[in-house]
Amino acid sequence: MKNNNLKILIAAAEIAPIAKVGGLGDVAGALPKALVKLKLDARLIAPFYGVIDRNKYKIKLIKQNIKTGHALINLWQTVLPDSTVPIYLIEHNFFKNKKIYSLGAGGEPKDTERFSFFSLAILESMKAINFLPDVVHLNDWHTAATAALLKNDYKDDRFFKQTKTLYTIHNLANQGLTDSKNYMAEGILNADLINTVSPTYAKEILTKEYGAGLENILAKRRKQLYGILNGIDIDFFNPTNDKLIKFNYSAETLEKKLANKTALQCQLGLFKNEKTALVGLITRFVRQKGIELITEKFSKLNCQFVFLGTGEEYYEKALLNLAGKYPNKFKVLIKFDEKLAHKIYAASDIFLALSLFEPCGLTQMIAMRYGSVPIARLTGGLADTVNNRVGFTFKNFGSLKFYKALKLALKIYYEKPKAWQKLRLNGIKQNFSWDKSAKEYLELYKKLKNLKK
């Protein structure tokens, strides 16, 4: 039985694992699997980028020469790996090159042009294959134009008479700007309902501090604005059977984490000592992530730091500088490395999430799943997932506030082992699965279906 016969089409610029750059891809790849468990008919649509491996994913042509504006497109189909979720892929010259995003350099079409075309192609493809969604679930500015098209150009199109739109904001900082348009604003103004990826961030973006210039537009839609926390892939991030770590463990065998710690200390050339607190950080090294809060005075603390990430040269250099000066305290690894990331989650006692702003944030949740205690700045999704039952928090964005929080954490780590164990167990027992978030999306979809046009 399908749930209320709800048919959902999720449109996104990225879908993990077939075409992923960041968190947007993770969400698009994980949410529909959880929706299918709730018996919804959920399907995905994305551009057919040159990077997508046609053979690996057994992609088949299903419809040719669909008229889209003045152009023609072909529609291809595959399924989301490890699921039954159909993925439709739109083939057009705009998407042929090897990159998912394009800067419009060297005469290439700009992303605003590519994705506004994609937004139109979404609607024409659905008509061509006669799939009538109850809700088109749009994600970030790339698909925002679809909401505007349904409200304007397609207003009298009988095919989409019942179709509603949900617009999910993953990153308010990227707005899709042209001389005359702001696609993010267009999505916010035209979608039937809007959500962002945590309850706290949904409130914060109504303020000047977090609104990225769109706070007034968002305020107009505040009654239609929701916050739903992202989940994490609890099968991929699972210390009990994670193949990327040396020693598997669970809430019952947390002491085995120590073997992962000493293994990582040896691998990275830090002093091997199972008692020394290991502090991890895995992130993009950019302003958003609060890298500037980590300064030389942290070298005085009785712990070892392991930082993994890539990003802006300024922040990479600042961290490498610390590692150069205090090689026994700081290890800084500038690369994207999934295996090392898992090893750090498994090895660390403490995990940092210092963001200036954070729509949701996944690393703090993954860290807790691996029994690592987070220290988080109280903002966005960090405020929704970290509290003093599971970790340590600080409110004002400042190095001293962070320093005090870490000092307190170390004191409890070294002097109050029982209290420390309680924090770790509370964290590891939390449920960050997509199943929970998918139920909240289901409620929004139902609300949309019952909405009068």
Residues in the interface with ligand ADP (CB under 6 A) total 17
- CA 178, 125, 451, 39 dihedral sign is negative
294 contacts: CB under 8 Å, gap ≥ 6: 281, 305, 307, 318, 319, 322, 352, 354, 399, 402
Binding window for ligand ADP (CB under 6 A); candidates: 55-63, 110-118, 357-365, 370-378: 357-365
Angle between helix 399-415 and helix 417-428 axes, rounded to 10 deg: 110
Report, in Å, the least distance between residue 280 CB and ligand ADP.
10
Report, in Å, the least distance between residue 336 CB and ligand ADP.
4
Binding window for ligand ADP (CB under 6 A); candidates: 48-56, 175-183, 186-194, 276-284: 276-284
Q: Does 415 bind ligand ADP (CB under 6 A)?
A: no
Structure tokens that stand for 243 in this block: 């193949």
**Strands ordered across the beta sheet of 41-47:** 60-68, 71-79, 86-91, 41-47, 7-11, 135-139, 164-169, 193-196, 225-227
Binder among 362, 368, 410, 444 for ligand ADP (CB under 6 A):
362
Binder among 23, 47, 86, 380 for ligand ADP (CB under 6 A):
23
Binding window for ligand ADP (CB under 6 A); candidates: 80-88, 131-139, 359-367, 439-447: 359-367
Q: Which of 155, 163, 189 is nearest to 175 (CA)?
A: 189
- 71 versus 263: smaller Cβ distance to ligand ADP: 263
- 314 versus 336: smaller Cβ distance to ligand ADP: 336
Report, in Å, the least distance between residue 359 CB and ligand ADP.
7
Which residue has the closest beta carbon to ligand ADP?
A: 23
Q: Does 20 bind ligand ADP (CB under 6 A)?
A: no
Q: Does 282 bind ligand ADP (CB under 6 A)?
A: yes
**Dihedral, CA of residue 99, residue 102, residue 104 and residue 105, to nearest 10:** -60
Hey, which residues between 300 and 339 contact ligand ADP (CB under 6 A)? 308-310, 336-338
- 192 versus 358: smaller Cβ distance to ligand ADP: 358
Q: Which residues of 242-276 are buried (b: 16+ CB within 10 A; e: fewer)?
A: beebebebeeeebebbbbbbbbbbeebebeeeeeb
Report, in Å, the least distance between residue 349 CB and ligand ADP.
17
Give CA–CA dist 115/134, Å, rounded. Answer: 22
Structure tokens that stand for 406 in this block: 């870490």
Report, in Å, the least distance between residue 119 CB and ligand ADP.
23
Q: Does 363 bind ligand ADP (CB under 6 A)?
A: yes
The enclosing H or E element of 402 equals helix 399-415
Binder among 361, 374, 391, 427 for ligand ADP (CB under 6 A):
361
SS3 state at 219: helix
Q: Does 236 bind ligand ADP (CB under 6 A)?
A: no
SS3 state at 71: strand
Report, in Å, the least distance between residue 358 CB and ligand ADP.
7
Report, in Å, the least distance between residue 365 CB and ligand ADP.
8
- 68 versus 143: smaller Cβ distance to ligand ADP: 143
- 171 versus 248: smaller Cβ distance to ligand ADP: 171
- Number of H helices and E strands in the chain, helices first, is 14, 15
Report, in Å, the least distance between residue 255 CB and ligand ADP.
24
- CA 441, 215, 282, 257 dihedral sign is negative
Binding window for ligand ADP (CB under 6 A); candidates: 296-304, 356-364, 370-378, 429-437: 356-364
315 contacts: CB under 8 Å, gap ≥ 6: 285, 286, 287, 291, 292
Binder among 2, 5, 21, 22 for ligand ADP (CB under 6 A):
22
Q: Rg for the chain (alpha carbons), in Å?
A: 23
Report, in Å, the least distance between residue 310 CB and ligand ADP.
5
Could you tell me how far CA 161 lies from the centroid of its own chain? Answer: 32
Hey, which residues between 111 and 170 contact ligand ADP (CB under 6 A)? none
Report, in Å, the least distance between residue 360 CB and ligand ADP.
6
- Residue 55: CB atoms within 10 A of its CB come to 6
Binding site for ligand ADP (CB under 6 A): 22-23, 282-284, 308-310, 336-338, 341, 360-363, 366
